[in-house]
Amino acid sequence: MKNTLLFLKIAFSLAIFSFVSCGDDEGEMTAVIEDPPPVSTVVLDPNQPPSQKLSDYKFFKGELKNQEPAYSVIPYEPISALFSDYALKKRFVWMPNGQKATYINASEILNFPIGTALIKNFYYNNVQPNNTTFILETRVMIKKEEGWIFAEYIWNDEQTEAFLNQTGDGVFKEITWIQNGTPITLNYNMPAESQCFTCHKLDNNKVLLGLEPKSLNFDYTYEDGTQNQLQKLIDFGYLEDNLPGTIETMVDWEDTSQPLEIRVRSYIDMNCASCHIEGGQAGYRGIRLAYGDTTNPENFGICEDPDTPIPVLFDKKIIEPGNAEESILYYRMSVSQEQYRMPQQGRQIAHEQALRMIAEWINSLPGTCD
C-alpha cells in the first residue's frame, strides 16, 4: 500500500512538472518563468516639498539628459504648442499607482488626482559653438491637496543634473543656436514661480495649460507604436474610460491642409487664451480668445476698440479686416517691447512663421469697420 501511494505521488509530481515545463529535442526540461509586472520607480510624495534635484524623482532612466521616461512616465504633446522663443519641449505625465484623471469636457483641463506630476523640459538643438543639444530648464508641476505647485529646475552646463531654483527670482542664461539656418542669440528667461502664475491662473488658482481634451485628442508616436493620446491614457489606467463619442478638437496650426481660420483659432487658443478668458490674467479685457469663443467675431476683436490704445495705432481696431499692418492684435504679436507685446510672458522674440499666418488671415477678412 505504501509503495502504491509513493508511486502515485511521484507520478502526480511529474505530471505537474510536465505541465509547467517544456523540453528541447534532447529531452531536457526547462521551467517556464513569467516576467514580473513592471513597477514604477518614480519617487514623489505630494506631502513633501519639491526635491532639490530633478534626478531624485527618478522620472527618467539612463542618463538624465537623454530624457528617456521610466515606466509609468507617459509622454504627451498638445496639437498646437505654445511658442516659447523657439525652445523645443518634451512633456511627460506621471500619476500614483491606481489613480486616474477624469474627463470634464473638451475645453477643460483633465481633472488630475492628487500626486500627479507634469514634467516639461525646455531645450534647443544646434546650440553654438558645437551644434549640440542643450537643456535649459525642467518645470515640474505637482498636484497637492491644496492645489498645484510649480517647481523650476535649472540644468548645469555639464547637462548631468538640474537643480531646484529656490531664489524666488527668474534666472537668465545667454544662448546662441541656429534656427532655420540663422544664428539667434537670446538671454533666455527661466521664470520664477510668481511669473508662471501670470499665465497659469484662473480665478486666482494655479492651473495647467495645454491638457484639455481638445488639445490632446490626436495621435502620438510612442515607443510601442502610434496611438490616440487620450486612448493611451485610458489603456494605461491614467484616465477614466468615459469619453463622449466625439470631442471638438483643435488642429495643428502648421497643417496647411486645414482651413486658415481654424489654424488661427487653434494657435491663438494655445498662445493667448490662458489670459484672455473669464477669470484669466486679462479677463478684464473684452476679447475672449479660447477656441470655442472665437467663432464670435466680437470675441476675436474684429472691429473692436482696444481697452488700451497703442500710440502708433492710436485710432485702430484690435483687428482691422483686410489690413494686418494696422491691426493691434498683429502689432502686439510682432513687437518685442514688454509693455506692448502679446503674450507678455514666455517670449522675447516674435514668432515669424505664425505672424505670416495671422497676417494672411487678417488680410483675407472681408468688409471694413464703420
- Both 277 and 204 in one domain: the answer is no
- Residue 177's pLDDT is what? 97
Tell me how many degrees the CA angle 278-283-284 measures, rounded to the nearest 5. Answer: 125
Instruction: Judge whether 60 lies within some domain.
Output: yes
Instruction: Judge whether 155 lies within some domain.
Output: yes
- Both 277 and 187 in one domain: the answer is no
Helix (H, G, I), strand (E, B) or coil at 164: strand
- Both 117 and 217 in one domain: the answer is yes
Whole-number Å distance between alpha carbons of 141 and 207: 10
Per-residue pLDDT of the chain (370 residues; tens, 9 = 90+): 434 433 334 343 433 333 333 444 455 555 667 778 888 999 999 999 999 999 999 999 999 999 999 999 999 999 999 999 999 999 999 999 999 999 999 999 999 999 999 999 999 999 999 999 999 999 999 999 999 999 999 999 999 999 999 888 889 999 999 999 999 999 999 987 666 656 665 556 667 777 999 999 999 999 999 999 999 999 999 999 999 999 999 999 999 999 999 999 999 999 988 776 665 665 567 788 889 889 988 888 999 998 887 888 888 999 999 999 999 999 999 998 887 888 777 789 999 999 999 999 999 999 999 7
Instruction: Judge whether 162 lies within some domain.
Output: yes
Whole-number Å distance between alpha carbons of 58 and 84: 26
Task: Label the pairing between strands 225-228 and 147-155.
Answer: unpaired
- Both 110 and 176 in one domain: the answer is yes
CA 319 from chain centre, in angstroms, equals: 29
Amino acid code (one letter) for 360: E
Last residue in a domain, options 220, 236, 252: 236
Whole-number Å distance between alpha carbons of 180 and 242: 43
- Both 216 and 300 in one domain: the answer is no
The Cα-based distances of 5 to 2, 13, 14, 15, 126 in angstroms read 5, 12, 14, 15, 77
- Both 204 and 311 in one domain: the answer is no
- Both 72 and 220 in one domain: the answer is yes
Q: Is the pTM of this model over 0.75?
A: yes
- Both 96 and 208 in one domain: the answer is yes
Instruction: Judge whether 8 lies within some domain.
Output: no
DSSP 89-138: EEEEEE--TT--BB---TTS--BPPTT-EEEEEEEEEEETTTTEEEEEEE
Domain with 333, as residue range(s), is 260-364
Q: Which three cell numbers stand for residue 43?
A: 519617487
- Both 202 and 85 in one domain: the answer is yes
Greatest CA span in the chain, whole angstroms? 111
Instruction: Judge whether 16 lies within some domain.
Output: no
- Both 89 and 186 in one domain: the answer is yes
- Both 295 and 157 in one domain: the answer is no
**Residue 320: which residues within 8 A CB-CB, separation 6 or more?**
303, 326, 327, 362, 369
Domain total for the chain? 2
Instruction: Judge whether 61 lies within some domain.
Output: yes
- Residue 98's pLDDT is what? 94
- Both 78 and 215 in one domain: the answer is yes
* Total Cβ atoms within 10 A of residue 37: 6
Instruction: Judge whether 31 lies within some domain.
Output: no
Whole-number Å distance between alpha carbons of 161 and 142: 19
Instruction: Judge whether 98 lies within some domain.
Output: yes
Amino acid code (one letter) for 250: M
